[in-house]
Amino acid sequence: MSKNITLKATLYLYDLVWNIVIPCLRLNQRLAQGFRQRTLQKMTLTSADMWIQAASSGESYLAWSILKKLHPHKPVKIIVTSNTRQGLDIIDRAIADITPNKRNVRACSAYFPFDKPSIMETAVKTIHPKIMILLESEIWPGLLFALKKHSCKTLIINGRITARSLARYLIWPSFWRMIGPDKILGISESDVKRFARIFGKERVEVMSNIKFDNIGNLVHGLETEKHLGKMIRPGTPFLVLGSTRQKEEQVVEKIILNIHRRRPDTVIGLFPRHMHRLTYWKGTLDRIVIPWTLRSKIKKQVSDGTVILWDTFGELSSAYELSKGAFVGGSLAPLGGQNFLEPLTCGVIPAIGPSWQNFAWVGREIVERGLIHVAADWKEVANFLVKSIEKTTPREKVRKAALMYVKDRQGGTAKACSLIEKLLNET
């Protein structure tokens, strides 16, 4: 009884904090998109048998894999939510790609509501899911409490948790255990042990990371690659700086200047991880006097030496397919790195910075085999990219080596879908 009173009091205070925070969130450029949906002032949620939450683009690709592999024995309606516009775009593409060919699966998308307990109570009552799938590290107290209250089975799939996050949860482990998920599939033994310390070892087991299944299986779109290829003059070297983050922008600027000085004919595709950083890059490229154009404005071949500032979604993989070399961002600042498996899928050995702990699950052996180049600083990144122009490893050789590396690490999607299908049958 006392535990329930403490839990409800905590969530009541948490709800009050959201009353203060939500007006401020409207000022955030990313959260302003879909704000009325996030607060349920504009209701886009609908009833569904299963709810999948995919925080952003990376998790949305995981949701795509699950939708593709899932084969329920009876009709199932699924709602997939995301916190970002990029995530929703990927989810919508997945739904368009998959569900027309699956009679037993109907799916729709929506913005993920803010975790204010009263909002989440309404969201869960509206959707009324039998199963909730949280991808990777989506642990929201308002949501978990509402799901528990309404007897929804909750799973964390492809779960990961850092030692730093674990320390925060261990401040009050009994709270999290009361509202915690029914089952957690973690992507490594280390993640499993951390989750077990919070939620209990009986709820946790290990799985292979779903991202291993996607190597060699992603559809990049030949028509898109053909279209992008027309933008660059034949013979002109093309490099990609992918998923760059705000905290490393100053050193990325130095990489651009260094490459422009040494190989002034090079066209660079610059992909900021977050679209609201486009304004910064427009001003920066003007300041350092580097010719640039927005991807959306290109109607003909760009001039040699141009930086293409990418302001359209869904073309990073196709750009990797056309590139001579690539750098994957989030790694030259202590941010943990972005997805360097994507260029490998496209047959390109990428350079990354020293910060890549978010992808430690891939294994250090991938570096030892020469499939990833870990650079100590921006100068080493620039040197690697220039060398990539001069001597490129054949794409098929890179693809083959990448597939050999992941072969014994695949199967995560099948394991997750098997568990989901079992629960669907039971409910």
Domain range annotation of the chain = 2-208+411-426, 222-408
Q: Which two three-digit tokens encode residue 161?
A: 């948790």
Report the distance separating Cα 116 and Cα 5, nearest Å. 18
State the pLDDT at residue 298.
Answer: 95
β-bridge partners, 239: 268, 325
Domain spanning 2-208+411-426: which CATH class is it, in words? alpha beta
Report the distance separating Cα 253 and Cα 256, nearest Å. 5
pTM attached to this predicted model = 0.77
* Strands across the sheet containing 307-309: 292-294, 307-309, 267-272, 238-244, 325-328, 350-352, 373-374
Given a cut of 50, whether residue 219 has pLDDT beyond it is no
Inter-helix orientation angle 85-98/57-69, to 10°: 20
Report the distance separating Cα 371 and Cα 387, nearest Å. 15
Q: What is the mean pLDDT of residues 107-121?
A: 97
For 60: left if phi > 0, alpha if psi spans -120 to 50, otherwise beta; the answer is alpha
Residue type, 70: L
Report the distance separating Cα 353 and Cα 359, nearest Å. 12
Question: To 5 degrees, how large is the angle CA 84–CA 347–CA 278?
Answer: 35
Q: What is the mean pLDDT of residues 312-332?
A: 94
Given a cut of 50, whether residue 286 has pLDDT beyond it is yes
Question: For domain 222-408, is the CATH number 3.30.870.10?
Answer: no
- Judge whether 2-208+411-426 and 222-408 match in fold: yes
Given a cut of 60, whether residue 372 has pLDDT beyond it is yes
Model confidence pLDDT, tens digit, residues 124-179: 999 999 999 999 999 999 999 999 999 999 999 999 998 889 999 999 999 999 99
β-bridge partners, 373: 351
CB-based contact 259:386 (threshold 8 Å): yes
Q: What is the mean pLDDT of residues 295-308?
A: 96
